[in-house]
Amino acid sequence: MAEDIVDVLIIGAGASSAAAAWSLSDTKMRILCLEQGDWMNPAGYPSTNKHWQVMLNPDYNQSPNVRRNEADYPINEDESAISVANFNGVGGGTILYSGHFPRLKPSDFKTQTLDGVGDDWPVDYYALEPFFAQNDRNMGVSGLAGDPAIPYHEPPLPPVPIGRMGEVMGKGLNKLGWHWWPSDSAIITEDYEGREKCINLGPCNYGCAQGAKSSVDIAYWPMNQRLGVELKTRCRVREITVDENDMATGAIYFDEDGVEHHQRAEVVIMACNGVGTPRLLLNSKSARFPDGLANRSGLVGKNLMFHPWGFVQGIFEDRLESHLGPMGTCMLSQEFYETDPNRDFVRGYTLQITRGQSAAATAVNHTLRGNIPWGADHHAGFEKYAGGSVNMNICCEDLPEECNTVTLDPNLTDSDGIPAPKITYRLSENSERMMQHGVNKATEALQAAGAFQIDAHGHTRGTGWHLLGTARMGNDPEKSVVNSWGRSHDVKNLFIIDGSIFVTAGAVNPTTTIQALALYIAETMKKNLANLFD
Amino acid sequence: MADVIATDSFLTEEQSLSLRALLDLIIPADADRGMPSAAELDLVGYVSEFASNQIAGIKTELESLDQAAQREKGALFGELEKNDQQTLCDHLRETDPRFAIAIAVQTLNCYYQDDRVVIALGWKARPPFPEGNEVPQADLSLLDPVRERGRIYRE
């Protein structure tokens, strides 16, 4: 039997993979994607059940160490100030993300030039701009044009409703003279491309039963499959193989029965996120690459960036019905995004304003804190807090530091015996100062909006949604893992397209930028097909 | 789920009696608001279905409660007069901040998802999907001062 060799092998079926596969499909090359998880069944998402408030754990928990689905691999986080949040399945992290979709800004791509920290990217905002726009159309993105905190762009759909809570917060921010704007959201607010519009179910972060949240299992993969892209689920890659010429030859993977296969390929694209990609590269050791594949720079797994994340919650007397609506997307303030030399930190943060807590969470949290009493006064206490909470999230820019790493744990393995990743991470002094500033400013905003009680929680550990920087882009092979269009400096037919390639982190949820980069890389590959490996 | 303590309970009859008494102290009925007592709900059935990993902790907390009642008042908690239950409960809460915490958390989760409670609060006793919720769009002219200020990003 002839050996099965595909033109393009993509590892992972999340946000970047879906976008790149869509773009490459018009080449008519044979494209195969291997995904370790399975397709999701939206009919099983918590919002389809009356007891959805307690069905969020553990099956839809954001931590693989809690969730422990068959598709998950464990992560040693003992030495990390932030724990990882991910999802393994068709759609990847977009299954559980909020759909909050702000772009990186022009200044994010040149932090060294502007602020003397981090490094400049080898691409800039304007090179990515057409790919942001294309991705907005493919995903179905809502928002309001004209935000003065970002170059002008027109989201294809009108913004998600910010509700009464948004109005109250907007008035408060106006008193302070601060920036705010309805968030760009990967949530369709009108029927779009055969999908039905958002009906404000609420718990978007546990899967959208309506299909209105633009997770890529819905927004991209059905289209990709119609275009001829092949997708195999329950296939966990162990190793990328290479030949004596430093060219990738394919991947060794285990199928759902644990049977080992070797899939040959002309081109390999890594799309496994900022933890999964370095893990797989470090697991792909060979005589030619004794420190892990594509790692002659020694930078694979280094410069891990999350976004240090904090919360401040305000409680309002008005029944704002703040528990209704897409939970993670409402509005944002980027008043403190850009560097200000008068502050005691460099770079900045986004204040992401999100919906309030559900009834059960309100009752539990405020009873345990002593705000709602036991006994006859319980009911009045609950009424005081129900439907009136607003969360201000502080999303801080994390600067790259080589001491923050993804390595291989010497003992921990997944169910196929593949070494698991270990995270070593600490917050920098700059991040600590930025976070304190953010907590103070969020408190000020909630006061201005009229909150009668404000609870500042500051940095919170379980917030490692954004996995960035562990196989960075750059023009210098000694200081980066991939070049300006995602190709490995060391292995000419190996590409990386996920958050690993971020040079700096910005201070926003990264998915839209990850996908714009993936589209940009795919487009550059197509333009260079004749001499792709030169 | 039934609205009474289930017969296939993971608790003994004595523990069920003590639990019911404790639940009525945590959330008593409020006739004016139309709110039931937590003791009227099927907490045991709820825990069995949605929080079975909490069963051991709940049993341990009830054993401690009954031991304290025996020690302080000479009877199981569920057998005490209401005033004695309240006095003992207040004392235990003062001396142990984690007193009955597993029971309290599951009680609150059960209570605020119960149909009678949800309806009394003016909300809809159904899952979010497929009917969804109405959320109004705000008056976006509120953004005028933000627009007037002009560009704030750096190139």
**3-state per-residue secondary structure call for A88-138:** CCCCHHHHCCCCECCCCCHHHHEHHHHHCCCCECCCCHHHHHHHHHHHHHH
Three-state SS at A171: helix
Q: For residue B18, give the nearest of B53, B63, B71, B73 by alpha carbon.
A: B63
DSSP E strands in A171-301: the ranges are 181-182, 230-232, 236-242, 248-254, 260-270
Q: For residue A495, give the nearest of A240, A254, A260 by alpha carbon.
A: A240
Check: CB of residue A390 under 8 Å from CB of residue A313.
yes
Check: CB of residue A263 under 8 Å from CB of residue A4.
yes
Which residues 164-183 in chain A show a CB within 8 A of chain B? Answer: 164, 166-167, 170-171, 174, 177, 179-182
Q: Do residue A179 and residue B152 have CB atoms under 8 angstroms apart? A: yes
| Number of C-beta neighbours around residue A250 at 10 A | 23
Residue ranges per structural domain of chain A:
5-48+55-529
Place of tokens 């008494």: B21
Q: Is the ipTM above a cut-off of 0.85?
A: yes
A237-241: long-range contacts (C-beta < 8 A, 24 or more apart)? A237/A11, A237/A34, A237/A36, A237/A280, A238/A283, A238/A416, A238/A418, A239/A280, A239/A283, A239/A284, A240/A11, A240/A268, A240/A270, A240/A280, A240/A281, A240/A284, A240/A293, A240/A494, A241/A284, A241/A286
Q: Are strands A405-413 and A331-333 parallel, antiparallel or unpaired?
A: unpaired
Tell me: pLDDT of B1 over 50. no
State the nearest Cα–Cα gap between A353 and chain B, in angstroms: 15
Which residue among A54, A107, A182 places its CB closest to the CB of B154? A107
Q: Which CATH superfamily is domain A5-48+55-529 in?
A: FAD/NAD(P)-binding domain (3.50.50.60)
* This prediction's pTM: 0.96
Place of tokens 């502050």: A343
State the nearest Cα–Cα gap between B140 and chain A, in angstroms: 8
Place of tokens 């487009």: A523
pLDDT digits (tens, 9 = 90+) for A267-324: 999 999 999 999 999 999 999 999 999 999 999 999 999 999 999 999 999 989 999 9
Q: Do residue B138 and residue A163 have CB atoms under 8 angstroms apart? A: yes
pLDDT digits (tens, 9 = 90+) for A161-187: 999 999 999 999 999 999 999 999 999
Tell me: pLDDT of A521 over 80. yes
pLDDT digits (tens, 9 = 90+) for A416-456: 999 999 999 999 999 999 999 999 999 999 999 999 999 99
pLDDT digits (tens, 9 = 90+) for B90-148: 999 999 999 999 999 999 999 999 999 999 999 989 999 999 999 999 999 999 999 99
Q: Do residue A51 and residue B50 have CB atoms under 8 angstroms apart? A: yes
Residue of chain A minimizing CA distance to B134: A200
Check: CB of residue A499 under 8 Å from CB of residue A86.
no
Q: Do residue A49 and residue B154 have CB atoms under 8 angstroms apart? A: no
Tell me: pLDDT of B6 over 80. no
A391 membership: H or E segment, kind and range: strand A389-396
- Which DSSP string corresponds to A352-366? EEE----HHHHHHHH
* Residue A194: burial class (beta carbons within 10 Å; 0-12, 13-18, 19+): exposed
Q: For residue A206, give the nearest of A75, A352, A425, A51 by alpha carbon.
A: A51
Check: CB of residue A501 under 8 Å from CB of residue A485.
no
What's the CA gap between A51 and A186, in Å, rounded?
Answer: 26
pLDDT digits (tens, 9 = 90+) for B19-73: 999 999 999 999 999 999 999 999 999 999 999 999 999 999 999 999 999 999 9
Q: Do residue B104 and residue A54 have CB atoms under 8 angstroms apart? A: no
| Number of C-beta neighbours around residue A489 at 10 A | 19
Q: Do residue B126 and residue A50 have CB atoms under 8 angstroms apart? A: yes
